[in-house]
């Protein structure tokens, strides 16, 4: 297991915000992950997957980070689908499914997320969510340090929410997905269309963490911000995307505080104009 001291976290968060942590661990398997928690039970630990749905709010963290990026990412084909460890990416998962002519993950191709993060947040689009293909999850319960499994129905998925989102002391280790046999060329075509659609609408040319806010009932965030004239509004290095105002981008030197300041202004103005309380989808650390 690799350990790094005073690690630069900018490559491990999709906003590419500059921050450092005192200690970072890169576990390769379940046993190593458990060792990290068992060897120092008093210190707070922060776990990161692919860093695609987080906002780092501090320049330096005394806490230990556990980073599942480039590790803990084994993917296996099963009789009825595919399994993946928490550190695997949805890109990795969907590509493996494609090679084996398995359909069901096309819409997740090019969604920048780890498997663990996707399960926690019930990642998805208007075409579908991770809950639609997930069967069960293996997880580490930090309360009693036991490894347990939970089925789809027990996870109680909601829009961008789940059992794991509500219970931060339950860490996703592995997930099982049920897929169906399909035509490899048709699967590939759907994947490429999905990718192109996202790149056409989203500011992929700049560091960002996807949609900042959860979609409020009966409303869409982007049009509200457009009506308020907030598209392109900038604080420091953070900007409300001119391509899609539901996104905040890093123009080059954004800090976590720049991003959080933008979020606060958006929430205030949307509340004043529309009476809507915008809930942040991204995890603030």
- Report the percentage of the chain scoring pLDDT > 90: 89
Under the banding of pLDDT at 50, 70 and 90, the label for residue 221 is very high
- Report the percentage of the chain scoring pLDDT > 70: 100
| Together in a domain, 106 and 129 | yes
pLDDT at 226: 96
| Together in a domain, 165 and 264 | no
pTM to 2 decimals?
A: 0.91
| Together in a domain, 177 and 208 | no
Known catalytic residues are 160, 211, 281
Q: Are 238 and 232 in contact (CB under 8 A)?
A: no
Token couple for 266: 């958006």
| Together in a domain, 214 and 195 | no
Q: Which CATH number does the domain housing residue 25 bear? A: 3.30.43.10
| Together in a domain, 178 and 255 | no
| Together in a domain, 84 and 154 | yes
Q: Which of 45, 67, 89 is the last residue of a domain?
A: 67
Q: Which of 67, 90, 122 is the last residue of a domain?
A: 67
Q: Which CATH number does the domain housing residue 116 bear? A: 3.30.465.10
Neighbours of 57 (CB within 10 A): 15
pLDDT over threshold 90, residue 280: yes
| Together in a domain, 48 and 123 | no
pLDDT over threshold 80, residue 272: yes
Number of structural domains found in the chain? 3
**Average pLDDT estimate for 124-140:** 94
Reduce the DSSP state of residue 7 to 3 states and report it. strand
Token couple for 50: 């692919």
| Together in a domain, 214 and 161 | no
pLDDT at 189: 97
For residue 269, the enclosing domain spans 203-284
Cross-strand bridge partners of residue 80: none
């Amino acid at each position: 297991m690799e350990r790094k001291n005073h690690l630069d976290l900018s490559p491990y968060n999709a906003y590419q915000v500059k921050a450092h942590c005192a200690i970072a661990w890169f576990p390769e398997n379940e046993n190593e992950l458990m060792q990290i928690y068992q060897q120092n039970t008093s210190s707070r630990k922060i776990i990161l997957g692919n860093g695609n749905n987080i906002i780092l709010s501090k320049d330096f963290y005394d806490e230990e980070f556990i980073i599942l990026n480039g590790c803990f990412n084994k993917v296996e084909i099963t009789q009825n689908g595919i399994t993946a460890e928490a550190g695997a990416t949805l890109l990795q998962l969907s590509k493996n499914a494609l090679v084996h002519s398995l359909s069901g993950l096309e819409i997740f191709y090019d969604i920048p997320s780890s498997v663990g993060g996707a399960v926690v947040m019930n990642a998805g689009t208007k075409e579908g969510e991770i809950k639609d293909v997930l069967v069960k999850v293996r997880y580490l319960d930090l309360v009693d340090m036991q490894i347990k499994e939970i089925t789809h129905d027990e996870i109680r998925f909601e829009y961008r929410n789940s059992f794991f989102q509500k219970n931060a002391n339950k860490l996703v280790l592995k997930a099982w997905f049920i897929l169906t046999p399909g035509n490899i060329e048709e699967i590939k075509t759907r994947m490429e269309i999905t990718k192109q659609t996202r790149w056409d609408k989203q500011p992929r040319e700049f560091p960002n963490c996807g949609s900042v806010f959860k979609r409020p009932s009966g409303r869409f965030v982007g049009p509200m911000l457009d009506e308020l004239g907030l598209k392109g509004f900038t604080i420091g290095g953070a900007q409300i995307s001119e391509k899609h105002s539901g996104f905040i981008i890093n123009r080059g030197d954004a800090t976590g505080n720049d991003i959080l300041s933008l979020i606060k202004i958006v929430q205030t103005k949307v509340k004043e104009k529309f009476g809507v309380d915008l809930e942040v989808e991204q995890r603030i650390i």
